[in-house]
Structure 1
C-alpha cells in the first residue's frame, strides 16, 4: 500500500515528532485509524502476540514491526515509532518510570512494536450518525477503567480487561452497538452497558486512566474493550523493559477508518 505525504495523519505525526503535539489525539485527523502501542523485547514478542490473538476485543492487532525496526510501513508514510506518538510510557519491571515525548535515545535493536486498534477510530462513525460522544464534546480524554473481567492468559501476560466509557441515552446506546459492531479491528461492539459495579468498577467518577466525564440524567454508561489492556498485562508480567503509549496519546496512522468496517 502506498501512502502520500501531507495527509492530516502525516501532519499529526510530524507535530508529535517536533513536540508541537503533546496532548491526547481524540478527534485528531478525522477519518484516519489511530493505534495503541506496546513495544517489547523480542524474547517476549511471541507471548504478547499470543495474548493479542486470545484477546481480540481489547487487543485487535493492526500492525507488527520487525525486531529493531522503528517503523511499520503498512501503517503510514514516513512513520517513526520512536517519535510520532505525543507521549510514551516507559516501564521497568512493571513500574512506570518515565513519560517522554520521544524514545529515540532508549531505542534498542531487539524491540518489537505492536500496533493495536483504538476506539477513537469508531468515534468518527458514531458522530457521523449523530451519536454524541461526551469526551469529544467536553474536549477531554476518554475515561478508562480496570475491570474485574480477566483476560485470557498467554505466556507471562495476563491481567484485567480495561474498558473505555461513553455515557449515552438508551436509544443512542442501541445505535452505538450497531455502529461499532461493524468495526472489530478497533474493539467492535460494547462489552457492557449499565451498572459499572457489575464489572468491578466501584466509582465511575474516578477512572483509572483518562478524565472523568459527566453523566446526564437518563444516560447509561456504555463500556468498550480498550487498548490500554496491554498496559495492565505488562504491569502484571513485569518485564525488565517495555514501552507503551500514554493513555489517549495514540499513533495516528495513514489507514482509513472506513476501510476497517465490515
Structure 2
C-alpha cells in the first residue's frame, strides 16, 4: 500500500551517523525527508525508472552528459534491487518518489510498490550529497544544513547533448560557499566525478540564466551569509527534466533531494565503470 505523502560531519547531526541500512529502514517506514546530511561518508544516488523501450536512449543521454548524469548502475526490466545497497528495495527505500504521466506530475508518494512493473528499467546516478561530508570535514560550511533546508536546485539555460526524444537544459544545485573556501571546495569535489565532480560555475547566477536565487526550481531557498558566493554543481535532476520534456507515458523518479542511500563508501564516487546496457 502506498503511504502518501562511517565518516562524520563536524555538525553533529544524528542522521549523519545513521548507517545506510538504518536510514533506508526509516524511509521504508514512511519517513519523507531530504537525505542531505544523512549517513555521512556514503554514496547517495538519483533514481529514474522508465519503460524498457525508452531506456536505451535515456542511458545514452546520461552517457553523453556525464557531469550531470554520472551512471552508477542500470537495472534490467522489473528489477528493484541493486548491488550498491544490500537488501534495499528501490520501490520503497527512498524517502519520496514522483510519478509522471505524459510529462505531468501525477503523484508524490513514499512508496511505488503497486506501480512497479516488469517492463521498468531503472538508472541510478551519482549525487552531490555524496561529497557534502568531505566538504564539511574540510571546514566548508553547508548553509542548507545550518538552515534546516533542502539544497537549492535551478534550471539553467545551458543545453545538454540530446539522445532521441530526450532533450534537457542543465539543472544545477547551489551551495553558498565563503569566498576564501571556494578553491578548496572545487579541488575536493573535482576528485569525485561520480558525484558530479567540480563546480560548473562560480559567482554570477545570470551567467546560467538564473534570475533569482531566492526562487529555486527544486528544493528550498538557501540564504547566503556575508562573504559567501553561490557555487553551482551539475545535478542529476537534469535526467528527470529530460524525461518530463519527452512526455513519455510513464516514469518514476525520486523527489529532488530525496535520494537512495547506498552502502558504498565515498571512494566509489572517485571512479566506476559505466554500467553496460541491460
Q: By the TM > 0.5 criterion, same fold?
A: yes
Match status 1:9 vs 2:25: no
Kindly report structure 1 stretches of 4+ aligned residues shifted beyond 6 Å: none
Alpha-carbon distance in structure 2 between the residues aligned to 1:260 and 1:162 = 20
Contact 2:43-2:268 within 8 A present in 1 as well? no
Alpha-carbon distance in structure 1 between the residues aligned to 2:68 and 2:124 = 12
Taking the TM superposition and a 5 Å limit, the aligned residue runs for 1:39-78 are: 39-72=49-82, 74-78=83-87
SS of 2:38 mapped into structure 1: coil
Contact 2:155-2:210 within 8 A present in 1 as well? yes
Post-superposition offset of 1:235: 1.4
SS of 1:174 mapped into structure 2: helix
Post-superposition offset of 1:232: 1.1
Alpha-carbon distance in structure 1 between the residues aligned to 2:25 and 2:81 = 14
Q: 1:30 aligns with which of 40, 45, 65?
A: 40
CA RMSD in angstroms comes to 1.0
Contact 2:98-2:253 within 8 A present in 1 as well? yes
Post-superposition offset of 1:11: 1.1
Post-superposition offset of 1:70: 1.1
Post-superposition offset of 1:253: 0.6
Match status 1:236 vs 2:245: yes
SS of 1:154 mapped into structure 2: coil
Number of the residue aligned with 1:97: 106
Post-superposition offset of 1:149: 0.4
* Count of residue correspondences: 254
Show structure 2 runs of 5+ residues with no match: 1-17, 272-278
1:159-191 CA distance string (max 9 Å, x none): 110000001122211101100000000100000
Post-superposition offset of 1:259: 3.5
SS of 1:99 mapped into structure 2: strand
Number of the residue aligned with 2:205: 196
SS of 2:206 mapped into structure 1: helix
1:219-245 CA distance string (max 9 Å, x none): 210000001111111111010000100
Match status 1:123 vs 2:132: yes
* TM-score using structure 2 length: 0.89
Taking the TM superposition and a 5 Å limit, the aligned residue runs for 1:208-223 are: 208-223=217-232
Post-superposition offset of 1:260: 2.5
Alpha-carbon distance in structure 1 between the residues aligned to 2:110 and 2:240 = 18
Alpha-carbon distance in structure 1 between the residues aligned to 2:243 and 2:228 = 34
Contact 2:152-2:216 within 8 A present in 1 as well? yes
* TM-score using structure 1 length: 0.95
Alpha-carbon distance in structure 2 between the residues aligned to 1:31 and 1:168 = 20
SS of 2:216 mapped into structure 1: coil
